[in-house]
Amino acid sequence: MLYELLYPLHTDISFFNIFRYITFRTIYGGLTAFTLCFLLGPWAIKRLSRLQIGQIIQKDGPKTHLEKEGTPTMGGLLILFSIGISTLLWARLSNHYISISILSLVLFGLIGFIDDYLMQVKKRNMGFTARGKFILQVLAGLGISWLIYHCPDFSSEMTIPFFKGLSPDLGIWYIPFATLIIVGTSNAVNLTDGLDGLAIGPIIIAAVTYMLLAYVAGHVKIAQYLQVQSIASCGELSIVCGILAGAGLGFLWFNAHPAQVFMGDSGSIPLGAILGTIAVMTKQEILLLLVGGLFVIEALSVIIQVGYFKMSKGKRVFRMAPLHHHFELKGWPESKVIVRFWIISITLALVSLSSLKIR
């Protein structure tokens, strides 16, 4: 919005030429999102507490979590609001990738909100059924993937990180492939959101990583130098990533241990989906397995646990899944689990960025 309103004035006032630069709008978009979260956080927490929207703790989980019963949840709405307002202010709204990003956030945000609403307000024990939520996610993912596939400057080739020149063209099959990435990331982030700040930290790290990747893909000369697929319209996604990181930092102020608020499905489901959507649009979809490796590990721990439990008739691989609960039950303090998992995320992000040179 600010780009469309102020940049045209640069012909008369040279200062407004600054709105042309993606780096400038990324920085101030991120700062805007952080400020909104930081300033509105106390009000949102009080409002959620007044509405008695508190976290429900499963009794079979770690005993240390029982004291968190009643902590305000659905704080993800604050993150989504901050991202939405900041994107409207700082991104070029005429860019089709920006429009798709916002749509992804809205569709999956509605799924997460309804799930939280059914659980917290209507007092259904587990919100949506697992099958119902998954079907809605797949339908939303298919719609987003179809729109991406039909973007004028988008290629259906799949990028294989660390391998130069290896880009198989999936054709129309790129749509279900992209859906798998988006829905899979949405659910993986949702599974990771189990400790104070555990999910939002890696989300910030992944957002910063894709901020750099989007800028590279959108800059013709840098993309050519690094032999990365150039997508002219993709550079604007750097702004969305910067805003996502800024909103995440603002939320982390209140979500850090001991948490004053949880994001709930209203946050984890859409934030995972928008990360998957950005990974697809930047043509770094496979790399997300490494950038978001912590989410992958957490999701795999659940799959392994459930699969082995059924095959072995009651035996377990981990003391509890997702994996962060396993380490808690082994005696790790919650803060130690969180920080160590963040360290893993940072390490994986750095290895991911090395793929720009190692080919």
Could you tell me which residues come within 8 angstroms of residue 145 by beta carbon, excluding any fewer than 6 positions away? 174, 175, 176, 177, 178, 179, 182, 280
Locate 283 and state its tokens.
Answer: 């043509």
State pLDDT tens for residues 307-334: 988 888 888 999 888 999 899 989 899 9
pLDDT of residue 321: 87
The whole-number pLDDT of residue 60 equals 60
pLDDT recorded at residue 285: 94
Whether residue 125 is predicted with pLDDT greater than 60 in this model: the reply is no
8 Å CB contact between 260 and 254: yes
Q: How many Å apart are CA 170 and CA 235, to the nearest integer?
A: 24
43, 75, 84, 257, 321 from 40: Cα distances, Å: 5, 11, 14, 19, 34
pLDDT digits 0-9 by tens, 35-90 = 999 999 999 999 998 887 767 666 566 666 666 777 888 999 999 999 999 999 99
Single-letter residue type at 155: S
What does the pLDDT read at residue 245?
98
Is the backbone of residue 314 left (phi > 0), alpha (psi -120 to 50) or beta?
left
Residues in the chain: 359
Calculate the dihedral angle through the C-alpha atoms of 10, 11, 14, 19, rounding to the nearest 10 degrees: 20
* pLDDT above 70 for 5: yes
pLDDT in tens, 141-165: 999 999 999 998 888 989 888 887 7
Q: pTM to 2 decimals?
A: 0.94
Give the alpha-carbon dihedral of 258, 262, 263, 269, to 10 degrees.
100
What is the structure's pLDDT at 127? 62
